[in-house]
Amino acid sequence: MSSFTDYIWVFVVGGLICVVGQLLLSYTRLTSARILVLFVTLGVVLSAIGVYEPLEELGKAGATVPLTGFGHSLAQGAIEGAKNEGILGAFTGGVKATAGGIAAAVVFGYLASVFFTPKTKK
């Protein structure tokens, strides 16, 4: 595929994931936190049944950046850890696979808190 069509697929896949989240926020009583947990769990389940990897190949960053991609990474790390290290690897593999992303989130979250002052809603 050309790079232009890659960008289109990234936009479509990522956009559809965001649309699902917005529809859940708008038309259900689910809180944001529950939707986040639902998306991570959905990524794990779709990865386990083999659906998320083809979606990731098609949508690239559009599928890996949202929370469903985080769930997919956790599942793949746990599966790989279980294959290499047994039952203990199933518990540690997900953490190892996502450690870079978690560390980046902590560092950038801290930097944002240093440079910006939150304001309460009135």
Q: pLDDT by residue (tens digit) across 6-19?
A: 999 999 999 999 99
pLDDT in tens, 64-105: 988 999 999 999 999 999 999 999 999 999 999 999 989 999
Spell out the domain ranges in the chain. 3-115
Residue 2 confidence (pLDDT) above 90: no
pTM (predicted TM-score) = 0.82
Which band of pLDDT confidence, cut at 50, 70 and 90, is reported for residue 120?
confident
Cα–Cα distance between 10 and 4 in angstroms, integer?
A: 10
| pLDDT value of position 1 | 56
- 8 A C-beta contact, residue 62 and residue 14: yes
| Residues in CB range of 9: below 8 A, 6 or more apart | 1, 58, 59, 60, 62
Rounded mean pLDDT of the chain? 92
CA end-to-end span of the chain: 50
Residue 97: per-residue pLDDT = 93
